[in-house]
Structure 1
Amino acid sequence: MLTLQPDHELDAISAGLGRAGAFALILIDCEPLERIERRYGGEAYRGSMDGLKALVKEVVEESAPGEEVLITEERSRCAIAAFVFAARSNVEFYGDALEELVHRITRDLLIRGRRAVYPYHKNPLELAIGLSVTLHNTAIMPERQILHALEAARKDAQFEVGLRRRRYGRQVLQVILSGDIQVRYEAIVDLNNAQVLGYEALSRGPEGTDLTNPRDLFRRAEEAGLLYELDALCRKIALEGASRLPKERTLFLNCLPTAIGDPGMRDEGLRKTLENFNLRPSDVVLEISETESIDNFGVFREVARSCRDLGIRIAIDDAGTGYASLEAIMEISPDFIKADMTLVREIDSDPARQQVLSALKTIADGIGAEVIAEGIETHGELNVLRELGVRYGQGFYFGAALRASDQCPSGSAS
């Protein structure tokens, strides 16, 4: 069943096929945008789709000047369909030029598409894209040819997604096997006197690759089923580097909730792990990342209790960005609550952010925890955080994250 809308577009596609003798169909699967509709409503979804269609139209018309173009939707499947009616005799277009067009659409959606869906979808917009070419066959009804073109483009998109995941999976595996993880340490500072409390270990992939950004690295690892292995490797490299940090400073060590299954993160195994890197339990704060939700709070509470019995403290990351982090605070009663940078950014000019962070501070006071504000960039933000009673913070305002050996030994933020 054809689901292109409205019906007159089917007539236009059929007529274009008859005139040109062929068409290329580029199908963009926009399934991730369905989450926008469920969370923010139909108007937000429609605005996002219209923005993406306009972007696709711009790219196609620039890349195929003079060719007849029709941009529409396959609405029942949440997809954008771009038809290009180049003459059947245009061998150059249906060869390298068409492949380059698909490549450009992919690139522009990834780079510029984020603007079209902001603020509803903040991550890079990586959509599955498929391609099919249809030659006019007078023995087959045009509607059936269009249907076959859509099916072929969908299969091509699925095939490309499989190839992409396979490629990224192999890259992640190579990173893990080679240990090619770069760790930088960002100072966590007392906002009242600029004294350094400790350092958060920030892991990233190999420089100059698709996996340099930590979000991309961990997302690809999750797709490849290697999230646990990557997390363990990042902890190991962070601990190795921590021996070169200034003495008497706390290491904030990121870990996923699944780390509770690692024998090296429990009881005597954890104590021995720290001893191997000349660290005391009191030198370490385990920072629980929200990359992965906590599935079993009962089990996790037991692990947290055993960590505390050793003298290790617990922090909850990305607080204030959703229910999951607040639930973790209620269930675990951490020693530190890290306020996400989305709460901190421009807080000096946003009363709503101030109210939310003030509420978070009240929660922290009630359980005996300290708030750490992430992503501080300006003096105005720093002043407001001080006024709200937030004691600790981190961010570019205090300097970039550095190698362990490059950190200032004086104990003060630069």
Structure 2
Amino acid sequence: MTAPEELAERVRDGDLRIHELEDHADHDTAAEARRLFVERETGTDLEAIGDYAFPAERADPNIENMIGAAQVPMGVVGPVTVSGGAADGDHYLPLATTEGALLASVNRGLGVIRDAGGADARVTKNGMTRAPVFRVAGVAEAAETVEWVENNVEALRTAAESTTSHGELLDVEPYVVGDSVFLRFAYDTKDAMGMNMATIATGEACDLVEAETPASLVALSGNLCSDKKPAAINAVEGRGRSVTADVLLPGELVEDRLHTTADAIAEANTRKNLIGSAKAGSLGFNAHAANVVGAAFLATGQDEAQVVEAANTITTMDARERDDGTTDLYASVSLASLEVGTVGGGTKLPTQAEALDVLGLRGGGDPPGSNADALAEIIAVGALAGELSLLGALSSRHLASAHEDLGR
């Protein structure tokens, strides 16, 4: 076996390119050789980066030019008490983050939710999208293409589903802009997040569109999908899983645990999350939902770049007066585009797989799709807890002191 030092020298001499090392050694040796090369080129010490706890070969589907692993601190919050369409009972939610006080805040919100009997959560819509863009000569050919698509959805479904044993084509929505035709394909990808599945299936369907219409494919992704970018279409139509969680908190519980009132939290939400976000032109109307989603994504092996779409969340807080004059707090979060899976991608990595084991959601569910639905519901309740805790801290003017007390 070639030694790492020799491989590093061959890269430095130009005899090998940095991405060719796995052709000459096992994955761990290749990673070590790459580290040595980078250390010598940059004058750095990569001891911590090279101290990873899984075979490098396990990461081969997930990364190129591996030198080690980025270790993000992981904690756990909970139990998350949820009554959902797929999730039920108490679950511990692993979160990975470098932001101090985040888990403490989420845990505080979860404690209040538990004392209120738990939260309800439901996945209200499911569809991973891919939207290719086609070129046509003009509006007449655009109309001809759209008419063919609308009359031949079954043929497109047959073509798309021929590439996968799991995915199902749900819908194809056409959009016309001058001589461009966009077709937004939506799929049920079961327990996979499904971006690759949707891309491959859509490619097969595009061949049929080109064969049967005047349209010529320009790009398999035309950004109307829309993946990893703030987009109103995802905030309105959804992408991945659209999920909502809510809870009704007794007024005395709000006062005892959050040290404020239902009216104060509702006002803070209206003025901050609704009016403030509207004035800013935000697509999301929430306090920090992406904080919880991002930490859950890192812990459970989701595509971290899709956190941007979690920022579409709308948080509502409503003070509800009871017959006895007591005011309770109704709280909800609605995440329009939460893209999660429990199979494929980063969920196969050892650390992330263990985190899914903590949730009891590793791998495919029975029925298919139920594990990913459950994960979405649990994350939504975690996000709800984070919203409650932060809005409670803001309305009680305890935010700064809480960070000071925790030394963050």
TM-score category, normalised to shorter length:
under 0.3
What TM-score comes out, normalization by structure 2 length? 0.22
What TM-score comes out, normalization by structure 1 length? 0.21
Q: Which has the larger radius of gyration?
A: 1
Q: Which has the higher helix share?
A: 1
Tell me which of the two structures has the higher relative contact order, counting C-alpha pairs closer than 8 angstroms and 6 or more residues apart: 2
